[in-house]
Amino acid sequence: MPGAFEGETVTRRRFMTGVAHSAGGIAAMAFTLPALGFALGPIFDREPFQWQIIGKPEDFTELDYVTKAITIVAGIGEAGESIAYVRRRDPEIDTEPLFKHDNYVLNNFVALSSRCMHLGCPVRYVEAAERFICPCHGGVYNFRGEVAGGPPVRPLDRFYTLEHDGYVYLGPRYSVNSELERFSPRDPGEPLDGIGQFLYPARFSTSVLPSTANLPAPPAVSGT
């Protein structure tokens, strides 16, 4: 090989070039990879979710929704708040099964998320029509939160609810398909029927159903 000493398989110049480039590459990776991980970390980070008190059982009826301000993300004020529409479960129309979690029977209260399942605008409940209506692109949902018209791709998301110590607690959000079967929470615009549940997989970041071991205590003064 020209430029190489007897028995060398790589010239010194070539070796030196390789070492310099490798050192530069390692140095660049040393700050690029941590920075990238830093930016991408939230995708893999599971957010904790705390059960919260939304009222007493007698606040809710089967016939009408009560609007409740709830906290989605704690500590950031209004930007972390949202609305849940809550009513008592009516066995006549709510055919989806109840289920047990840590000795509590869940979802005796139906709590619908106000996020439209088209693109996430806030829907409002119109009592006279018994419909949820979205102001952005005209999505309409019926009394059970199923799509009645417009662009939404699935029924309104729901929150887990349980009754404890005379209070109604609201848990994390979950998504439902058109049969009202439960799925881990998806974002709006992602259908869950048919192939949809595979096109839009569950995320690492969404909460699992949290333990009921540390439910927040009811307020000291009853009813506040």
Partner 1 sequence: MPLPKLLGRTNPAEPGHADEPKPAPIEAAAEAGITVVDWIDERTALSPGIRWLMFRKVPKGINWAYTLGSATLFAFLNQAVTGVFLAMYYRPDVSGGAYESIRNINDNVFLGQFVHGMHKWGASVMIILIFLHMGRVFFFGAYKYPRELTWIIGVVLLILTMAMGFTGYLLPFDQRSYWATIVGVNINNTGPFIGPYMGDFLRAGPEFGATTLSRFYAIHMLLIPGIMAALIGFHLYLVTKLGISAPPWVKAHEPEAVTEYVEV
Footprint (CB under 8 A) of partner 1, residues 110-149: 119-122, 136
Q: Does 199 bind partner 1 (CB under 8 A)?
A: yes
Query: Cα(153)–Cα(176) distance, rounded to whole angstroms?
Result: 11
Report the residue from 37, 201, 216, 219 that binds partner 1 according to the rule CB under 8 A.
201
Specify the 3-state DSSP secondary structure of 222.
coil
Footprint (CB under 8 A) of partner 1, residues 74-113: 75-80
Q: Does 53 bind partner 1 (CB under 8 A)?
A: no
CA-nearest of 200, 189, 93, 105 to 150 is: 189
Binding-site size, partner 1 (CB under 8 A): 33
Whether the Cβ atoms of residue 154 and residue 191 lie closer than 8 Å to each other: yes
Query: Cα(104)–Cα(53) distance, rounded to whole angstroms?
Result: 15
CA distances from 133 to 1, 40, 60, 173 (A): 79, 35, 21, 20
Closest approach of Cβ 26 to partner 1, in Å?
23
Closest approach of Cβ 131 to partner 1, in Å?
21
Closest approach of Cβ 136 to partner 1, in Å?
7
Q: Does 152 bind partner 1 (CB under 8 A)?
A: no
Query: Cα(141)–Cα(29) distance, rounded to whole angstroms?
Result: 50
Residues that bind partner 1 (CB under 8 A): 39-40, 42-43, 45, 47, 72-73, 75-80, 119-122, 136, 185-190, 199-201, 203-207
